[in-house]
Structure 1
Amino acid sequence: MEEVRTAGFWVRLGAGLLDGLIVGLPLVLVSYLFTGTTEETPITSIGNLLYLLIVPVIWSGYTIGKRIVGVRIVRMDGGKIGIGTMLLRTLAAGILYWATFGVLVIVSVLMVVLRDDKRAIHDFIAKTKVIYVK
């Protein structure tokens, strides 16, 4: 049986930056057309949230950025993620990160950098991991 390699910090960061450019930037432009501001609006917030919740579910754990860099989100048993998993991963972690004024974001980054399994807080909450795809 072949060992599954978990994705580390830099590849995950790269995927997130690509998602921001490919999805986030167009959302900001659409929001600007409707509101006249480039600051966060319901259009950008809801658009990003829906993207992060729905796309990985219908696209087998990938976002556009993750697909480009060759990683995807899976359950700990290797199975496909569902909407419940993504709700836990995205919303619960987001609430925790917000409630701690970003302190847990730093803890999560350190976990991905220092732990052998490369899992962040949101991975533990949802029982997921990010793996390299062959």
Structure 2
Amino acid sequence: MAVTNPAGFWKRFAASLLDGIVVGGPITLAGYLATGTAEANWFTSLVNVLYALVVPVVWHGYTVGKRIVGIRIVRLNGAPVGIGTMFLRSVVGGLVYFVTLGAGLIVSAILVAAREDKRSLHDLIAGTYVTTDPPAVQAAGPVGISS
């Protein structure tokens, strides 16, 4: 399946910013209440990783920020993302950005701006892309037997 309706840089940036505000703020507050420190700690790191791994899997590729903006993550073949795909995208992609001291983030921004399919480094690693297409509606089966 071909990449359809890829989301561009600004929509993806807005979704990340919204995730940081709407989800990151409460996670930081909860981390402070749980550990007594406002700095990044094991609690906030764990909850952020779980959020990035689980929420897109159970919510059709959306995170809170992506849902607000109207974009979502899908696999290249159009299938929903799974935990393994999100692990590659979030954890392995994050490690690439960490090891390159942030240079990978700059490369990703350029890729999203320049590539026709708008795929970043972590999309290339995980075999995903971000689209404005809504999830496919499941065909409804019979609700009941009528006479």
Range into which the TM-score falls when normalised by the shorter chain: over 0.9
State how many pairs are aligned. 132
Partner SS state of residue 74, structure 2: strand
Q: What is the TM-score of this pair, normalised by structure 1?
A: 0.94
Q: Deviations over 1:69-106 (max 9, x none)?
A: 10000000111111110011111111111011111111
Letter in 2 for 1:124: L
Deviation, 1:31, is 1.4
Does 2:48 correspond to 1:52? Answer: no
Residue matched to 1:121 = 121
Deviation, 1:34, is 2.8
Deviation, 1:9, is 0.7
Q: Which runs of 4+ in 1 moved over 2 A?
A: 34-37
Residue matched to 1:75 = 75
Instruction: Measure the CA separation in 2 of the matches of 1:68 and 1:124.
Output: 24
Letter in 1 for 2:22: I
Residue matched to 1:43 = 43
Residue matched to 1:6 = 6
Deviation, 1:41, is 0.8
Instruction: Measure the CA separation in 2 of the matches of 1:82 and 1:33.
Output: 31
Instruction: Measure the CA separation in 1 of the matches of 2:105 and 2:25.
Output: 22
Q: What is the TM-score of this pair, normalised by structure 2?
A: 0.86
Deviation, 1:133, is 2.6
Does 2:110 correspond to 1:110? Answer: yes
CA contact (8 A) 2:112 2:118 kept: yes
Does 2:22 correspond to 1:18? Answer: no
Instruction: Measure the CA separation in 2 of the matches of 1:130 and 1:118.
Output: 8
Gaps of 5+ in 2: 135-147
Higher alpha-carbon Rg? 2
